[in-house]
Structure 1
């Protein structure tokens, strides 16, 4: 049985463990998770969700509220179909490999979307890990309605060089490509 709940500080340790097991060492740290959590909370609206399978953490979705994320060099706002102030940012999803394929990722995404709509969002943006095993991240986000805008080389390079992120695909310094994708909510 899958149950869902919004992220609180009480789950930080298990969220960090799952995120790093899926995405690589130091992808999440106590400091980065606290920052990410805060970026996804506006008043009593929390865009960050957790999924539990039989009482064990099985999935996480970290989402930033509009205005709480940076439009950086890996973003193409001139190609977005809606204004930035109506876009949340899907920062991270991680589903335990032992329970993938059961709809947990989609369930987490839909809950974040439902909360983001309360903030006036009409779309969400993500940088999808194009080198994920079997390109599962791109396929999943495409099935959910995501549209590829542009690919960005070495998206997580600075994170790996300056903050100790260890890419599991590149075995250290990350040279992976991110697919900048937008997911309109009107579908």
Structure 2
């Protein structure tokens, strides 16, 4: 009798151990598959996203930030419009090691927009994911569809300049190569670094090499008065420059190999954050269109800027005064300045961009 009970107990223990080992083996296998999938198809991170949508009866291209958290072959995250703040929650999975498929839904209860997407992984090695989306659009109250393209944001660091930074010569060279010989000097950048009203940001790689440079400052009263007169002359009613603590996003350039990777947007976001900290109620840009596909207008509009006016031959200096050689005009600059503005009262640094900079996770397009 005792022997029979002992045999039964040993059998139960053996079965339990076998079941635990089988379950552990199954979990380890799933974990190994998840790890291998994430290694072979690393889709986690932040992307600059463009998609076609219908707004007010017109088809438009919209720029968003997409942030993806990956768990093996499944993923979740969100897409956020930096201009409107509108956000969609995303979830999906990798299928047959070739595609991403999943769904999206409006983040707010009152936003009934919902749909699906199907994106290819054939360009993943170059940091791109492309495909299609389709769904119900609450704003148009209709079924719509279009392209949806993601481009991974560069893994770079953005740091504020110091007067002793060894990168100042490289930064000045980058701006002059991008905008024209003699546009900026090392001394000017150093003075901007020293000024309580100035902002100079460097984008660097993990070896500390410069990948981008951008500047901003708080406008002086004389400059605001001069700009307000020019805007009024251009037909702008109530420019509202004078009487407002106004920030100016000035020059920006990124090395060619980093174009289109979201660095420009990150540097705009960080400059706005610094100007807001410095007490500015609004920010302006005098944007110059280089004519290439990496124009900054899309970046600036994605960051909430709106066009105010065009000022022709804005950078032309009076005869006899020293100027720089514009790379577009091949001599003294005759270009038009596109004046853009955004309020900082409602400015909130985008959380996905802030996360990237905390984790150390770029258009040459220029603003003058």
Q: Post-superposition shift, 1:69?
A: 7.2
Instruction: Describe the shift of the 1:102–1:145 C-alpha distance in structure 2 as closer, same or farther (beyond 3 A).
Output: same
Partner of 2:323 in structure 1?
Answer: 164
Partner of 1:53: 205
Q: Which has the larger radius of gyration?
A: 2
Question: Which shifted more, 113-122 or 26-35?
Answer: 26-35
**RMSD, aligned α-carbons:** 2.6
- More off after superposition, 5-14 vs 134-143: 134-143
1:79 corresponds to:
239
Q: 1:3 aligns with which of 157, 171, 176?
A: 157
Partners of 1:99 and 1:73 in 2: how far apart?
36
- Larger relative strand fraction: 2
Distance 1:63 1:175, change over 3 A: same
Equivalence for 1:12: 168
| Contact 2:160 2:202 survives alignment (8 Å) | yes
Gaps of 5+ in 1: none
Q: For residue 36 of structure 1, what is the aligned residue in structure 2?
A: 192
In the alignment, structure 2 segments of 5+ residues that lack a partner are 1-154, 233-237, 348-368
1:167-186 equivalences in 2 (<5 Å): 167-185=326-344, 186=346
Change (3 A) 1:132 1:57: farther
**After alignment, is 71-80 or 144-153 more displaced?**
71-80
Q: After TM superposition, list the pairs within 5 Å mapping 1:53-132 onto structure 2.
A: 53-54=205-206, 55-67=208-220, 70-71=223-224, 73-75=226-228, 76=231, 78-80=238-240, 84-132=243-291
Q: Deviations over 1:110-140 (max 9, x none)?
A: 1111121122212211100034424702232
Moved more, 158-167 or 141-150: 158-167
Q: Residue 180 of structure 2 aligns with which residue?
A: 24
Relative to the length of structure 2, the TM-score reads 0.45
* Higher relative contact order, chain-length normalized (CA < 8 Å, sep 6+): 1
Distance in 2, matches of 1:16 and 1:84, equals 33
CA contact (8 A) 2:283 2:343 kept: yes
Change (3 A) 1:150 1:26: same
How far 1:161 sits from its partner (Å)?
Answer: 6.6
Structure 1 window deviating more from structure 2 (55-64 vs 156-165): it is: 156-165
Report the CA distance between 1:33 and its aligned residue. 2.4
Give the C-alpha shift of residue 74 in structure 1: 4.4
* Structure 1 residue 60: Cα displacement: 1.2
Distance (Å, rounded) in 2 between the aligned partners of 1:160 and 1:7: 34
- Please tell me whether the aligned partners of residues 160 and 172 of structure 1 are also in contact (alpha carbons under 8 angstroms): no
Count of matched residue positions in the alignment of Structure 1 and Structure 2: 182
Kept in 1, the 8 Å contact 2:161–2:202? The answer is yes
| Distance change in 2, residues 1:127/1:182 (3 Å) | same
